[in-house]
Structure 1
Amino acid sequence: MFATGCTARNSNELTDGAFPSANSCFAQNSENNGGVTSYAMCCSTPNLTCQVKTSKPTGNKLGDEAGVSCDSGWEIMGCSGFSEDGKVGGAFIKASFSSPDECVAYNGAERLNGETGVTAYATCCKTH
């Protein structure tokens, strides 16, 4: 079974985002107050293989983006963003006819010096 989608929710606090591993989904609050819940969408089918690809972190400006694509022969099944320092604006799959689809995550606020940017996490799968 593979975690093909991963997201987080907290009705009381902001989150640092969520990120997948091959078979789990992790989420973290932007403060240490608890209450965050991670949600994984999972898939199990014969001959399915999945892996997680990550981008380099974004820059420090509001709206800065980071993106990552799957290798040739793999398809993006999920996309999420995460930063230890919070301020994740969101993540989405950017579809393209002329280049590979891309998982894009972006800053939701300016970052202070020393804060880590947002990393995009693409869940890539293929059958064989």
Structure 2
Amino acid sequence: MKKKLSDEKYNEVRAVKAQLASITGKVSSKKAIINAIETQNVPASQILLTVQNALPSGCFLNSVNYNGKSVTIKGIAESSFIAVDYMANLGRLKIFDTVNYSLSIEESQSDVEFTLNYTLKSQGGAN
């Protein structure tokens, strides 16, 4: 049997099999790199959707800045209670590390302008 497998007619099969093993190894290493990147960063689309869906009635966003590790949210609420309600909604989500946040509220006439800074928890990427 071994003599038949070492026959010249199987040289091409052995070469293709070796190439396939090499390509499989390269793909596996690329997959590991992609998974490592995903565990470090949450997609911007997910952040935007999360921040938008947490908005209570009477609360509006002016800007959302995301740098891969933290997010700054600026907006206007009809009252300070609504701004705090928005913070509570974001706090219930497990995407933000609420230990590192800051809040500044400025009342201008009847509306409340707020700025929230959150650090994101590391997550994502299946290993």
Is TM (by shorter chain) over 0.5? no
Q: Which has the higher strand share?
A: 1
Q: TM-score, normalised by structure 2?
A: 0.26
Name the larger-Rg structure: 2
Q: TM-score, normalised by structure 1?
A: 0.25
Structure with the higher helix share, 1 or 2: 2
